Amino acid sequence: MSADATFFASILSGALRAWPSEEVAPDPGHAVEDAIGHGVAPLVAQKIGRGERAWPAPFATGLVAAARGEIALAGIRERALTGVLEALAAAGVRLLVIKGAHLAYALYESPELRPRWDTDLLIDEADRGRTREILERRGYAYVPHVSGSLVMPQFHFRREDRSGAADQLDVHWRLAVPQAFSALPLLEELWDRSMPIPALGPAARGPSLADALLIACAHQAAHHSEWRALIWVVDVQRLAERLSDGEAEVFVERATRARVRAVASRTLSLARDLLGARLPRPLASLAREPIDTGEPSAAYLSPVGPVQRIALDLRALDGWSARTRLLREHLFPPRAYMRAYAPDTRWPLPALYVRRIVVGAARWLTTDRRRSQ
């Protein structure tokens, strides 16, 4: 990971107990911004306490201010999420709170210690229509994006309250977008092993800890191969340390069945090396395994460009019918997305599609070429 992530990991693991010498020290103000970007500002603030003598004042006070902001934001989001969950449950929509929103309550002493950029929910694909209708009735606006049964198995909603605080919901019916991760469990399987989240009301449930670890490992590789926020590694550390040997064995079995064993091995080794994670025996053994490059999802352990991503998706799909549908969904997204894509033009829709294909292809090829160089 990056030097700034390693710096904060050293603080969180206890390896660094005071500000380093000037030769290697980061700028205190920039360090606060980096801590916020990595999602660990509240945790680092908690770790260093008020240590004015050991830490520069701009660093310590900046972290405290960031942590206070997260307290206010967590309260706003909790009230909004509780209402959403109650409304969806009343309409008969079965769902799980996943990723950061779940882990904030399952792993951390207070939810503000686990900042997040959005709230992720997992539903059954058959409930897409009802879910969208209920969210729109509650004041959430649909965010147009490329969508389809293969290219984007989720939709996004956004709402701002009177204070201007934004609340974004990402509603999934599959856990990861890349086709190499299509063997990850769906809601039906996860639901049978799920656990309540009392702080979010009687309608709130999240994955079991073993399933949450599977989701956390897959999420980093599937969607963020180029950049990893340190908070995601902290999630993996805390999840792994909570599992018994028996639960850890179950996790390894599920990771193997979902064809993300290599991804899990790399992510666990990162938590061990960066944060000193105390892994249960089965996880420690998995973290020592050589990476199986034959596993399709292992390709995502390295940065993946947009053209390469499509090539990997096409390779992972069975049959030309599915591959043709994937390409069609990429090339011809819904009308609402195209109008949002170019809101200031009156071009007819066919011209917008041609423009998107030409400009997008050039941009994607340039991105892949730069990455290869």
pLDDT digits over 2-57, tens only?
888 999 999 999 999 889 887 677 888 899 999 999 999 999 999 998 656 789 98
Q: Which CATH number is 195's domain given?
A: 3.30.460.40
- Same domain, yes or no: 222 and 312: no
Per the structure, the complete domain to which residue 93 belongs is given by 3-301
Q: Which of 247, 269, 301 is the last residue of a domain?
A: 301
Amino acid at 216: A
Residues 123, 224, single domain; the answer is yes
- For residue range 59-82, list pLDDT tens digits in order: 999 999 999 999 999 998 999 999
* C-alpha to C-alpha distance for 280 and 325, rounded to whole angstroms: 43
Q: Are residues 319 and 233 in the same domain?
A: no
Query: Cβ–Cβ contacts within 10 Å for residue 23, how many?
Result: 5
| Averaged pLDDT of the chain | 89
| Structure-token pair, residue 73 | 């934001």
**Backbone dihedral region for residue 276 (phi beyond 0: left; psi -120 to 50: alpha; all else: beta):** left
Cα separation of 186 and 273, whole Å?
A: 31
Per the listing, tokens 């890349």 go with 178
Whether 20 and 97 map to the same domain: the answer is yes
Tokens of 115: 């900042």
Query: At 348, is the pLDDT very low, low, confident or very high (cuts 50, 70, 90)?
Result: confident
Kindly state the tokens that stand for 366.
């340039």
Residues 6 or more apart in contact with residue 220 via CB below 8 angstroms: 228, 232, 233, 236, 263, 267
What span, in angstroms and rounded, lies between the C-alpha atoms of 63 and 52? 12
214 lies in the same domain as 323? no
Is there a single domain that holds both residue 356 and residue 207?
no
Strand order in the sheet with 119-123: 95-98, 119-123, 166-172, 154-160, 141-143
Q: What single string gives the DSSP state of each residue in 13-45? A: HTS--SPPPTTTPPPHHHHHHHHHHTT-HHHHH
Q: Average of pLDDT values for 289-305?
A: 88
How far apart are alpha carbons 127 and 311 in whole angstroms? Answer: 30
Considering the domain architecture, whether residues 62 and 149 belong to the same structural domain is answered as: yes
- What was the pLDDT predicted at 333? 79
Q: What is the pLDDT of residue 331?
A: 81
Q: Looking at the structure, do residues 131 and 33 belong to the same domain, yes or no?
A: yes
**Do both 246 and 336 map to the same domain?**
no
Please report which confidence band the pLDDT of residue 151 belongs to, taking 50, 70 and 90 as the band edges: confident
Query: What percentage of the chain carries pLDDT values higher than 70?
Result: 91
3-state secondary structure of 161: coil
Alpha-carbon distances, residue 349 vs 227, 286, 346, 354, 357 (angstroms): 35, 51, 9, 9, 13
Largest interatomic CA distance in the chain: 65
Report pTM: 0.90
> What's the structural domain count of the chain?
2
- Between 8-17, 66-75, 159-168, 302-311, the lowest mean confidence (pLDDT) is in 159-168
Q: pLDDT band for 291, please (50, 70, 90 cuts).
A: confident
Look at residue 149 in the predicted model and tell me its pLDDT. Answer: 77
Other C-beta atoms closer than 10 Å to the C-beta of 68 total 13
Among 276, 301, 326, the domain-final residue is 301
Contact of 329 with 151, CB cutoff 8 Å: yes
Last-in-domain residue among 301, 334, 357: 301
Q: Which of these, 224, 252, 285, lies nearest to 99 by C-alpha position? A: 224
Instruction: Classify residue 14 as left (phi > 0), alpha (psi -120 to 50) or beta.
Output: left
Residues 282 and 327 in one domain: no
Q: Are residues 94 and 132 in the same domain?
A: yes
Do 283 and 253 share a structural domain?
yes
pLDDT of residue 138: 94
Catalogue the E-assigned strands of the chain.
95-98, 119-123, 141-143, 154-160, 166-172, 195-196, 205-206
